[in-house]
Amino acid sequence: MSNSFGRLFRFTTWGESHGEAIGCVIDGVPAQIPLCEADIQYWLNRRKPGQSKFTTQRQESDSVKILSGVFEGVTTGTALSLLIENEDQRSKDYGDIAQKYRPGHADYTYQMKYGVRDYRGGGRSSARETAMRVAAGAVARKILDKAGISVRGAMVQMGATVIDRAAWDWEITEQNPFWCPDAKTAAIWEAELLAIRKSGSSIGAVIEVQAQGVPVGLGEPIYGKLDADIAAAMMSINAVKGVEIGDGFAAANLQGEQNADCMRMENGQVVFQSNHAGGILGGISSGQPIITRFVVKPTSSLLIPVETVDKDGNNTIIITKGRHDPCVGIRAVPVGEAMLACVLADHYLLYKAYQG
């Protein structure tokens, strides 16, 4: 169950960073949805490495193949199998990460838990796995499209520099390599990240993902809460250390009347006067946009030496050569979008089960 996510819309991923291929199986896709490889490839290309100078230069076309579950252009209701061959898995010297544990990585915990690990490029713990989340998310979006629900994300903080929310423009996110919704901040980040990359270091970031068009009533109370599922989804992404819904941690500072999203009738409709709750009340969507944020720690694959130990129990230092993302938050944007899409598709199906 470690490699599966979801209840009714459920996907299972497999594959290691430098193995032969990666893939996923998606169960619970309704029948008769038009689907082809290009529909999925579009979203994969947004996460693909090598898109700008700010992401890893690993060259992968990340071409997805649909191996089952589609017939004559539509889904059949049976298991969808997707596969991407790993092209850039040239044999190389993995000596250092084979022997030493990178601080902040899963190297140590995998070795202790399993007594063996595929150290090549991080093996199963590599963020390469997130390509299949994006692929699953592309299929989830097909279900959401029919329901009028859309999902999009942006990077809202890099290091200490936070965007100007007043300047938020979704179109800007497509025009800079950071998915930054504010052109001025994008320019600042560019200078900052160049300096960080040059120094061989890395930096953390905060990503925000929003869903529009979510009807009131998605989510289950108590333990199957929509926000609990979103929290698990986001926290399961590599390097994520925190998740917020709506005002999140800022709600600690608020008094009750400040935090209350007051309600008014407008043209026979309930209209909320604010969205501190991020679109979820009691675990159930309120009809407002769903807003979630998550923080990504700076990768510890660094050109700067750090102290560690090796498999034989010796103190040593490690420098992680190779092609790394100085800010993994950038590529986490499409991944976060995909995970929110998957959670919503799952809850949308669940919602239908109990209606009518």
257-296 binders of a second copy (CB under 8 A): 257-265, 268, 270, 273, 276-278, 281-287, 295-296
Q: Which helix (H) or strand (E) holds 354?
A: helix 329-354
By CB under 8 A, name the one of 2, 38, 90, 171 that touches a second copy.
Answer: 2
Shortest gap between Cβ of 343 and a second copy (angstroms)? Answer: 11
- Least distance (Å) between residue 91 CB and a second copy: 14
Considering the complex, state which of residue 49 and residue 278 has its C-beta at the smaller distance from a second copy: 278
Strand partners, 11: 5, 26
| Residue whose token pair is 């390599």 | 177
Give the torsion through C-alpha atoms of 14, 16, 22, 28, to 10 deg. Answer: 20
Nearer Cβ to a second copy, position 242 or 289?
242
**In this structure, what token pair is assigned to residue 42?**
């579009």
Q: Is residue 63 a contact residue for a second copy (CB under 8 A)?
A: no
Return the ∠ at Cα 149 (arms to 219 and 186), rounded to 5°: 110
Q: Which is nearer to a second copy, 166 or 252 (CB)?
A: 252
Closer of 203 and 333 to a second copy (Cβ): 203
Binding string, 7-46, against a second copy, x = CB under 8 A? xx-x-xxxxx--xxxxx-x-xx-xxx--------------
Strands 80-85 and 21-27: antiparallel
Give min distance, CB of 207 to a second copy, in A.
Answer: 10
Q: Of the candidates 34, 59, 314, 321, which one interacts with a second copy according to CB under 8 A?
A: 314
The one among 76, 99, 150, 275 contacting a second copy by CB under 8 A: 76
Q: What residues numbered 154-183 form the site for a second copy, per CB under 8 A?
A: 157-160
In the set 50, 94, 106, 275, which binds a second copy (CB under 8 A)?
106
268 Cβ contact list (under 8 Å, min separation 6)? none
Q: Where are the beta strands (DSSP E) in 8-55?
A: 10-15, 21-27
Distance CA 35, CA 52 (A): 29
Q: Which tokens go with 128? A: 């390469």
Nearer to a second copy, 171 or 227 (CB): 227
The two tokens of residue 292 are 């979630």
Helix (H) or strand (E) holding 23: strand 21-27
Minimum CB distance to a second copy, residue 166 (Å): 20
Residues numbered 213 to 252 that lie near a second copy (CB under 8 A) are 216-217, 219-225, 227-236, 238, 240-249, 251-252
Cα torsion 146, 133, 62, 320 to 10°: value is 150
Q: Three-state SS across 120-178?
A: HHHHHHCHHHHHHHHHHHHHHHHHHHHHCCEEEEEEEEECCEECCHHHCCHHHHCCCCC
Closest CB 160 distance from a second copy, rounded Å: 5
In the list 49, 121, 181, 298, the residue contacting a second copy (rule: CB under 8 A) is 298
Interface of this chain with a second copy, residues 197 to 216, rule: CB under 8 A? 201-206, 216
- In the complex with a second copy, which residue's Cβ is closer, 115 or 171? 115
CB of 171: closest distance to a second copy in angstroms? 25
**Between residues 22 and 138, which has the closer beta carbon with respect to a second copy?**
22
Residue 29: name the closest of 157, 135, 169 by CA.
135
Residues 116-155 touching a second copy, rule: CB under 8 A, are 116-118, 123-125, 129
124/171 with CB nearer a second copy: 124
Tell me the site size for a second copy, rule CB under 8 A.
148
Residue 187 parent element (H or E): helix 183-198
Cα 286 to chain centroid, rounded: 23
